[in-house]
Amino acid sequence: MNLSQKVYGVTFQNPTVLASGIMGITASSWRFCVENGAGGITTKSLWLTEHMGHPNPTIISTEHWSLNAVGLPDAGVEKAVQEVGDYLKNKPAPLIGNVVAGSIEDFGKTAEHIAKLKPDFLEVNISCPNVEDEFGKPFACSAPDAAAVTKHIKQVSGDIPVFIKLSPNVNNIGAIALACAEQGADGFTAINTVGPGMAIDLRSRMPILANKVGGLSGPAIKPIAVKCIADVYAATEGKLPIIGTGGVYTGEDALELMLAGATLIGIGTAVGDRGIDVFKKVCDEMQYWCTNEGVEHVSDMVGAMHKELASRS
C-alpha cells in the first residue's frame, strides 16, 4: 500500500504534515518530526518583525479539546531566514513556510522574504482567531479581504505554490475559497482553530487563559474540519489541493479528512497527546486500514465521498 502523495511536483513520502505553530521554529525540531514519520513540515507563522505573543497561560487542554491563545510570538524574519535556510540546505522532507501579517502590504513583504528561500509551498495564515484586539477580524472572515491578500501574495511569490489557510468561523467557507481561487490561490489549508472559545476557573471566577479567549482544537473539532474541507473541495470542484487539518489523532481520522477532499493531513494538537511519533502511528494505522479494505493507493481516498454521493444521486 502506497502512502506517498505528489502535490505540484513535490513528493511527500506520506500525507502527514506537522501543522503550523507546533514544535517551534528550529531546523532541528523539524528534522526531529521527520525522523518520527512526518511526511512534511509547516513552520510556525512567521512575521516580518519581532512580535510579542500573549502572556501566560496561553494553552489549556482536556482529553477532548485544547484552547490556545499563544498570540503569534515570533522573532521576526531574520531568525526565520536562518532556520528555514538551514533546513532547506539538506531537507529530509518538504517544507511549507507559513506567513502572517497585520496588513496586506506586510503579508506581501513577509511572503517575498520567505519565497526567496524556496520553500516547497507558502501557507498564508489569514485566519488566526487570537489577535482580533490587535488587528480586527481575520482576513479569512471576508471573501473580498481573503481575495485581496491572495492577489497581493501571488504577485510576490514567484513560482512557489500558495496555500491559503482558511477559518472555520464563517458561514460561507466555500465562497471564500472560491474568491481566493479566482485570485490564483494554488491550494488551501482547512481549518484553523474554531471559536474562539473560553474556559473559566470556578474558584477564581476568572477566564483561565490570560487572553480570556482562545482557538479550539483537538478531537472535538474534527467534524467541523470535515465539513469545511468538503465545502472547499465542492466549491473549487476538487481542482485545488487541500491540506486538511483539525482534530486528526488516528489513521482513520486522517482517511476521513481525505474522503472529504484533503490531499495532505496536518497534525497539531495530537502531537502533545500521542507523542512526537504520532506521524508514524497515523501512517501505520492508515496502512492497516487501507490494506484490509483493498485500497491500493491512499490518493484513491481523496474526495471519494463526493464521487460516492454523485454516483448515488
Pick the closer one to ligand RRO by CB: 70 or 173: 70
Q: Which of 16, 192, 245, 263 binds ligand RRO (CB under 6 A)?
A: 192
CB closest to ligand RRO, residue no: 215
Considering the rule CB under 6 A, would residue 43 count as an interface residue with ligand RRO? no
Cell matching residue 214: 482562545
Q: Which of 70, 126, 185, 235 binds ligand RRO (CB under 6 A)?
A: 70
Nearest distance from residue 296's CB to ligand RRO, in Å? 36
Considering the rule CB under 6 A, would residue 130 count as an interface residue with ligand RRO? yes
User: Among residues 236, 242, 244, 252, which one has the least CA distance to residue 293?
Assistant: 252
Q: How far is CA 116 from CA 56, 120, 247, in A?
A: 34, 11, 32
- Between CA 243 and CA 229 the distance in angstroms is 9
Q: In sequence order, which ranges of 142-184 are alpha helices (DSSP H)?
A: 143-156, 173-182
Considering the rule CB under 6 A, would residue 21 count as an interface residue with ligand RRO? yes
Considering the rule CB under 6 A, would residue 283 count as an interface residue with ligand RRO? no
Considering the rule CB under 6 A, would residue 218 count as an interface residue with ligand RRO? no
Considering the rule CB under 6 A, would residue 128 count as an interface residue with ligand RRO? yes
Q: Establish whether the linkage from the previous residue to 57 is cis, with ω within 30° of 0.
A: yes
Helix axes 104-116, 77-89, angle to 10 degrees: 30
Q: Which of 34, 69, 143, 153 binds ligand RRO (CB under 6 A)?
A: 69
Given its phi and psi angles, is residue 60 left (phi above 0), alpha (psi -120 to 50 degrees) or beta? Answer: beta
> Which residues fall within 8 angstroms of residue 308, CB to CB, at 6 or more apart?
none
Amino acid making up residue 303: G
Considering the rule CB under 6 A, would residue 193 count as an interface residue with ligand RRO? yes
- Between CA 6 and CA 36 the distance in angstroms is 20
Q: Residue count at the site for ligand RRO (CB under 6 A)?
A: 15
Residue 290 a catalytic site member: no
Piece in contact with ligand RRO (CB under 6 A), picked from 83-91, 123-131, 197-205, 272-280? 123-131
Nearest distance from residue 243's CB to ligand RRO, in Å? 14
Among residues 33, 128, 228, 290, which one is catalytic? 128
- Between CA 299 and CA 231 the distance in angstroms is 19
Piece in contact with ligand RRO (CB under 6 A), picked from 66-74, 144-152, 169-177, 251-259? 66-74
Nearest distance from residue 236's CB to ligand RRO, in Å? 22
- Residues in contact with ligand RRO by CB under 6 A are 21, 45, 68-72, 100, 125, 128-130, 192-193, 215
